[in-house]
Amino acid sequence: MLEALDILLQANFWAATIRIATPLIFGVLGALLCERAGVLNLGIEGIFVAGAMSGWLAVYLGLPLWGGVLVAAATGAAFGFLHALLTVPLGLSQHVTGIGVTLLATSVSYFGYRVAFPNVATPPRIEPFPPLDVPFFGDLPFIGPILDQQSAFTVLAFICVGVLAVVLARTPLGLALRAVGDNPEAVEAQGLSVVALRMGAVMAGSALMALGGAFLTLSAFNAFYFGMINGRGWVCIALTVFASWRPGKALLGALLFGALDAYQLRIQTIAGGVVPSQIFLMLPYIFSIAALVLVARRADYPRALMKPYFKGQR
Amino acid sequence: MIRFVPRERTPVWLTIAVSIGSGLAALLLTAIPLALTGAPVFTAFVLMAQGAAGDGFALAETLTRATPLIFTGLAAAVAFRAKLWNIGAEGQLYAGALATVALGAGLIEAPPYVLVPLVLIGAAAAGAALLLVPVLFKARFGADEVVVTLLMNFIVLLFVQMMLEGPMKDEMALGWPQSAPVLDEATLPKLVTGLRLHWGLVLAVVAAVLLHVFISRTVWGFRIRAVGENARAARYAGLPVGKAMALVGILSGGLAGLAGASEVAGLKGYLTADLSPGFGYAGIVVATLANLSPLGVVPAAIFVAGVFVGADSMSRAIGISNYLADLVVAFALLSVLVGGLLTRFRIVFVRREPA
């Protein structure tokens, strides 16, 4: 029993928590940006795959690591443009279109990977982002080892949380973005373009999602594997509701989820013989559903979420 | 600028033309990545068509693959009609498959005319029960069913793996974990000896016809459609919205559960964790291609199955990745979505009004 608590005192556990949370931070930020503007983006699972694959391939072909990050973001924005085009000016069902984008992004990525490496059994590796050497704080006990295990890509995730929080809460652009998800008529009355704002938000949000995928291939691992996304995108959709569409709470939710996942990995080695490993693997999903049920009543959905807007109607 | 003007009626010829046009658009779009790889595009498509329907054997394979897709397509169609966004058909399929093995692999010994219906009812009940949970969460707590049904897919799949490595493990099997085989008395017979085609196909088609009659001809079918079109108006008109949603949940989950039963008892004979290569998600595509019409689900499922079977055979012949099949299906889904605009709206070009 003490061993179960002991895990919480290991720097290793907290380092893993942050590492597991990083792709989710990008994913939740992306999802909440799209949804704040009124568009549900179920393309997230596929956009994760496309970001992971394109970023990794770019680096493998010779671009620097940050070049790979940019390529991934551009890929995400491209799929975001497709989703936005279908759902905003054309007003198609956001659920079905999102599933279509996931299907397309996943199959393009897998197909492209197979074309690039037809007969390769083990995927070729790249040199991923190195762990940071944090000055001063890196020398502190306990905190130091946690920070020293992170990469610059993780730092980018935390920066994005801050930037998005400030932009949404404090800038005229953020006000317009929030309004377009709550009351598009009012935005139109202000003389702003609902279509442009929503499409921009979905593209930027999808670029963030793709960064979550790229983190996996460029920082956490050093290669692209089939099935490596494994539902992370869908978890982000759940975490968005949990986060009540706020960047700060998104960070909190992602860290909580990361901690749960890191904990289940470690507790398995202690209790593995008694409890089937699948029980532990289920915990994050059960936790997500429980969190959804608990916050759903209070959830302050963007009021125009999933409602297409056509100029001049109503 | 462009404006969409809703059509009062959609002419039949337009619906058919749009379906064919969407299919052609999907093939054209797929030709781009195919050409980029340097593959002979035309030959590849001919090989795909031959692989899907070139001879009796190919056709039987396509129909075998279409069987679970009809069930999951119907599951999505009936749910989406009522605006119940069930993205969890994959999990419900596995729940049905688990029930099939639990009931049909030796627990009960009975003649086929008892055991086969028992297994089918058990599978449908398991799938329905699984979907009733998120429907209840939605009704009681307002929890979004899209997310809950999605996440439940992962939980069910992990549960299946746990059962296959634990209580349901077949000790006689070597290699990958699998369940004990279902009894002969619980097996759906083959339609033609020597082919994999089984009675599940007949059941699936019957289910499509029954669902069509139910939705278009009965009071409850009308209520489901009314709830889907405008839940608030339906509630205002005094329709039992809660009961209608529960019924949709039972129908949708039950149909997805039957997909699992049909794959286990009709085709594989036992349960493995890779029973479904995403039939649940493909069902959403099928239902959309069919414009959510139960009768349309049958040809749509055969089309999607043909793409997968044909792409498999083509990829073996000229060494192109069979992920091409997923590409065709994704493009088909998106083209049909866009094409659907043409059937619902007239597109009018107007000059930008002066501000």
A100 touches chain B (CB under 8 A): yes
pLDDT(B8) > 80? no
**How far from each other are the two terminal CA atoms of chain A, in whole angstroms?**
62
**According to the model, what pLDDT value does residue A166 have?**
97
As a dihedral over the C-alpha atoms of residue B351, residue B353, residue B354, residue B355, rounded to 10 degrees, the angle is -140
**Chain B residues close to A296, C-beta within 8 Å:** 137, 141-144
* A80 located within any domain: yes
Q: Decide: helix, strand or coil at residue B5.
A: strand
Identify the closest residue of chain A to B320 by CA–CA distance.
A115
**Chain B residues close to A99, C-beta within 8 Å:** 87, 281, 284-285, 333
Cα–Cα distance for residue pair A140/A144, rounded to 1 Å: 5
Average pLDDT in chain B: 91
From B284, B326, B340, residue closest to A99, measured CB to CB: B284
CA angle B133, B282, A89 (to 5 degrees): 95
Q: Which residue in A44, A21, A26, A25 sits closest to A233, CA to CA?
A: A44
Half-sphere CA count of B311, side-chain side, radius 13 A: 21
Minimum distance, in Å, between the CA of residue B111 and any CA atom of chain A: 36
Minimum distance, in Å, between the CA of residue B37 and any CA atom of chain A: 7
**According to the model, what pLDDT value does residue A313 have?**
62
CB pairs under 8 A between A and B: 133
Per-residue confidence at A115, pLDDT binned at 50, 70, 90? confident
Cα–Cα distance for residue pair B159/B95, rounded to 1 Å: 9
From A103, A238, A294, residue closest to B333, measured CB to CB: A103
| Interface contact A97-B337, CB threshold 8 A | yes
DSSP A167-216: HHHHSHHHHHHHHHHH-HHHHHHTT--HHHHHHHHHHHHHHHHHHHHHHI
| Interface contact B162-A276, CB threshold 8 A | yes
* B104 Cβ neighbours under 8 A, 6+ residues apart: B115, B118, B119, B182, B183, B186, B187, B264, B265
Q: What is the pLDDT of residues B175-190, one digit of tens each?
A: 788 999 999 999 999 9
pLDDT(B55) > 60? yes
DSSP B136-154: HHHHHH---HHHHHHHHHH
* A210 located within any domain: yes
Q: What is the pLDDT of residues B186-208, one digit of tens each?
A: 999 999 888 999 999 999 999 99
**Chain B residues close to A282, C-beta within 8 Å:** 154-155, 158-159
Q: What is the DSSP letter of B350?
A: -
pLDDT(A197) > 70? yes
A140 touches chain B (CB under 8 A): no
Least reliable range by pLDDT among A293-302, B135-144, B275-284:
A293-302
* A227 Cβ neighbours under 8 A, 6+ residues apart: none
pLDDT(A299) > 80? no
Q: Residues A184, A309: contact at Cβ < 8 Å?
A: yes
Identify the closest residue of chain B to A287 by CA–CA distance.
B151
Per-residue confidence at B151, pLDDT binned at 50, 70, 90? very high
Cα–Cα distance for residue pair A3/A267, rounded to 1 Å: 9
Q: Domain span at residue A37? A: 18-117+151-237
From B151, B281, B284, residue closest to A285, measured CB to CB: B151
Q: What is the pLDDT of residues A27-55, one digit of tens each?
A: 999 999 999 999 999 999 999 999 999 99
What is the CATH classification number for the domain harbouring A87?
1.10.3470.10
Cα–Cα distance for residue pair B104/B114, rounded to 1 Å: 11
Least reliable range by pLDDT among A40-44, A73-77, B308-312, B347-351:
B347-351
Task: List the structure tokens of B274.
Answer: 């890779």
A166 touches chain B (CB under 8 A): no
A124 touches chain B (CB under 8 A): no
Per-residue confidence at B342, pLDDT binned at 50, 70, 90? confident
State the residue for tokens 């608990």.
Answer: A294
Amino acid at site A190? Q
From B144, B146, B337, residue closest to A86, measured CB to CB: B337
Q: What is the pLDDT of residues B79-126, one digit of tens each?
A: 999 999 999 999 999 999 999 999 999 888 889 999 999 999 999 999
**According to the model, what pLDDT value does residue B75 have?**
98
pTM for this model (two decimals):
0.93
For chain A, the domain total comes to 1
| Interface contact A293-B141, CB threshold 8 A | yes
A51 touches chain B (CB under 8 A): no
State the residue for tokens 């639990």.
Answer: B102
**According to the model, what pLDDT value does residue A148 have?**
79
**Chain B residues close to A82, C-beta within 8 Å:** 334
For residues B8 and A203, which has the higher predicted lDDT (pLDDT)? A203
Cα–Cα distance for residue pair B244/B225, rounded to 1 Å: 9
Q: What is the DSSP letter of A303?
A: T
Q: Residues A235, A258: contact at Cβ < 8 Å?
A: no
A75 touches chain B (CB under 8 A): no
Per-residue confidence at A272, pLDDT binned at 50, 70, 90? low
pLDDT(B48) > 70? yes
Cα–Cα distance for residue pair B68/B255, rounded to 1 Å: 10
| Interface contact A285-B154, CB threshold 8 A | yes
**According to the model, what pLDDT value does residue B185 have?**
92
Cα–Cα distance for residue pair B77/B206, rounded to 1 Å: 15
Average pLDDT over residues B274-293: 92
| Interface contact B166-A276, CB threshold 8 A | yes
Q: Residues B43, B345: contact at Cβ < 8 Å?
A: no
* A299 located within any domain: no
**According to the model, what pLDDT value does residue B60 have?**
96
Average pLDDT over residues A127-145: 82
**Chain B residues close to A40, C-beta within 8 Å:** 146
**According to the model, what pLDDT value does residue A180 have?**
94
| Phi/psi of residue A131, nearest 5 degrees | -65, 150
Q: Which residue in B81, B136, B145, B150 has the most chain A C-beta atoms within 10 A of its own C-beta, making it the best mutation to test that interface?
A: B150
| Interface contact B337-A114, CB threshold 8 A | no
| Interface contact B146-A40, CB threshold 8 A | yes
| Interface contact B141-A297, CB threshold 8 A | yes
Q: Which residue in A178, A208, A174 sits closest to A79, CA to CA?
A: A208
| Interface contact B327-A111, CB threshold 8 A | yes
CA angle A285, A290, A292 (to 5 degrees): 95
* A138 located within any domain: no
CA distances from B304 to A2, A99, A118 (A): 54, 16, 25
Average pLDDT over residues A62-83: 97
* A90 located within any domain: yes
Q: What is the pLDDT of residues B296-333, one digit of tens each?
A: 999 999 999 999 999 989 988 888 888 988 999 999 99
For residues B133 and B350, which has the higher predicted lDDT (pLDDT)? B133
pLDDT(A154) > 90? yes
Q: Which residue in A278, A300, A307, A309 has the most chain B C-beta atoms within 10 A of its own C-beta, making it the best mutation to test that interface?
A: A278
* A291 located within any domain: no
CA angle A93, A94, A95 (to 5 degrees): 95
Q: Which residue in A41, A188, A293, A313 has the most chain B C-beta atoms within 10 A of its own C-beta, making it the best mutation to test that interface?
A: A293
* A200 located within any domain: yes
Cα–Cα distance for residue pair B289/A86, rounded to 1 Å: 16
**According to the model, what pLDDT value does residue B86 have?**
95
| Interface contact A293-B319, CB threshold 8 A | no
Cα–Cα distance for residue pair B105/B261, rounded to 1 Å: 12
Q: What is the pLDDT of residues A202-260, one digit of tens each?
A: 999 999 999 999 999 999 999 999 989 988 999 999 899 889 899 999 999 999 999 98
Q: What is the ipTM of this complex?
A: 0.90
Highest mean pLDDT among A121-125, B22-26, B241-245: B241-245
Average pLDDT in chain A: 91
State the residue for tokens 């029960």.
Answer: B129
CA distances from A127 to A64, A124, A222, B61 (A): 10, 10, 6, 45
